[in-house]
Structure 1
Amino acid sequence: MLGLKTNIKPSKKAVKVHTEAIKGVIKQIKTAPQSALISKLNPIIRGWSNYYSAVVSSETFNKLDHIVWLMLRAWTVSRCGKASYKKRRNYFSHGTVRLSNGKERHESWLFQTKDGLTLWKHSYTPTVRHTIIRPDATPYDGNWTYWATRKGQAIDTPNRVAKLLKKQKGRCTWCGQYFAPSELVEVDHIVPRSQGGKDEYKNLQLLHRHTRDDKTALDNAKAVSLTMEQSD
């Protein structure tokens, strides 16, 4: 019907996986300095937010920021104790931040080190509406994802990337979304090599860069948990 719009939002599964990845990082480096935690989380949050910036994500971004704040508050309690309110305040501040679009925004809470290293929030990423593909676009105009998915081959495309695209029917195995020609894709070992996984075709999958960041964070967290269980 005319006059109706389809609003696409990040799926519940994508949000859950992303949340678990952040939780895994916080758990993995529980005793590390605040700067190390921020440096580990920022690329994960930025990558995920950039990927979903082309859909209706503002509400989701704000909810995720609140969830992250709760996780970080628990992280500070584990380090300082419930009674040490003044010590916990050392990890948080408030003030003005400059966003990627040049605008400034006042924040009631910032997870920030004393030298100014600040955790990037999901809501700092502006949402930009997707540009409709032009009518004259064809599978032969450099859209290597489309070409490789259907033909299993493409000029300037690595052989195993083309094979994985065809096997996965052009979709990321983690988030289920189609790969766009402009997106960064990476070959990932399903079972990490550090955990005994082999560098063979059946142990490979193609992921968006931001979903690989999420998966790597979860893999690392699982490895830490397994090591702790074995040492007990």
Structure 2
Amino acid sequence: QIFRKLDYWMSTRARRYAQRMHPKKSQGWRNYKYWGRFNKERNDHWVFGDKRSGQYLLKFSWFNVMRHTMVKGDASPDDPHLKVYWELRRKRKSSQLIPSYQRLARRQEYKCPVCSESLFNGEPLEKHHIIPRAQGGDDSYDNLELMHYFCHQQLHLVRQQSEGKVVVPNCQQTIRSVGRESEDEVLSLW
């Protein structure tokens, strides 16, 4: 309903534009010049566009409305009793990821290996190589982890700044680096 109103509003604007550009031409001439069946997948002959370049305006009614899932009653993400409920809601967002990210997320049980939080908390996600490619690691799923962008940055920062062998909190991986800071200084970043 609302998309039809928006399409009507846009077609009115397009008609006014055509009239302003060609005030001495007839409406039939303007229709022939600016309207046509530009999108071959649709049987719609009233699409505004440029016949020379093939560019055209998309119609609002061509897009489906994406409904959001309603939140139960007074459910709050901060309520510890509803943690399972919110994790299930976030897992549904995994279908929006590309297939390789979906597979990694499922393998990690939808948790970031660094902070142990849900992968779907609104932060962007990145792939991390457990064995860096520079050290002979490959792009196989066994060598990849999915983590938050910020966690990935922190992990590499610890790698660069740590001295000797440091264990990253909440992560089973041990890392080596050649920095000058002590373990306490490095882990204070976390």
Shorter-chain TM range is 0.3 to 0.5
Larger relative CO (CA 8 A, sep 6+): 1 or 2? Answer: 1
Q: TM-score, normalised by structure 2?
A: 0.37
Question: Which structure: larger Rg?
Answer: 2
- Which has a greater percent of helix? 1
